Amino acid sequence: MFLNKRFLIFIFFIITTNAFGAIKENVINNLKEINSLTFQFEQNINGKKERGKCAIKYPKKIFCKYDLKNNKILVSNGKSLVIKTLTSYYIYPLEKTSLNYILDKNFLLKRISNAKERIVNKKYIHFNFNQNDNEINIFFDRETYNIVGWQLLDIYQNLNITYLDSIIKNQILDKSLFKLPAQN
């Protein structure tokens, strides 16, 4: 009887380990196949919610247009990040922002392969890792293995939680979309 319990526990451990290993492999394989993403987003920065649409082209390019009256956009050409509104213009070296890590598919693949996944609400796969004093939480859908959000600190050390919806993979995107906008 004791031997049977040990055997059952061993089998359960193997099945559970293989299931989690398969989940991580599916996330990795899905991410490897993605060259670009378009999606709608909701961003919560310290309780302030903003919505809009984004396009990401790997490596390290993003264009987001916010649904705001001030015509806010966020653009990275892979080296710099610009946040522009009707009345303001900010430019940062991308490597100095946490978004640099989210936009670097090779970085994500490497870190995910070495991270332990956690299932959240039976719907999401969560990975957590730290890089240069930046804590990065990234979430994937458990059915599609698509990235569905992230949580990190922005350049001003504000908590930034971003949710993705209506995700379309590998659309052909115009290169000019990621051209940095001119200053006002």
The verdict on residue 6 lying in a domain is yes
User: Tell me, what CATH number does 21's domain have?
Assistant: 2.50.20.10
* Residue reference for tokens 């922002």: 97
How far does the chain reach from its first CA to its final CA, in angstroms? Answer: 78
The verdict on residue 70 lying in a domain is yes
Report the alpha-carbon distance of residue 161 to residue 164 in Å, rounded. 10
Report the alpha-carbon distance of residue 125 to residue 116 in Å, rounded. 10
The verdict on residue 183 lying in a domain is no
pLDDT given at position 21: 62
For residue 111, the enclosing domain spans 2-178
Query: Please, which residues bridge with residue 151 across strands?
Result: 137, 161
Q: CA nearest 140: which of 128, 130, 149?
A: 149
Maximum CA extent, the chain = 78
Total domains in the chain come to 1
Q: Do 149 and 139 touch, CB atoms closer than 8 A?
A: yes
Please list the pLDDT of the chain residue by residue as tens digits (184 residues).
Answer: 444 444 334 333 333 333 446 999 999 999 999 999 999 999 999 899 999 999 999 999 999 999 999 999 999 999 999 999 999 999 999 999 999 999 999 999 999 999 999 999 999 999 999 888 888 999 999 999 999 999 998 777 889 999 999 999 999 999 999 999 998 7
The verdict on residue 27 lying in a domain is yes
The whole-model pTM stands at 0.85
The verdict on residue 184 lying in a domain is no
Q: Do 166 and 183 touch, CB atoms closer than 8 A?
A: no
Q: Hey, what amino acid is at 141?
A: D
pLDDT given at position 154: 79
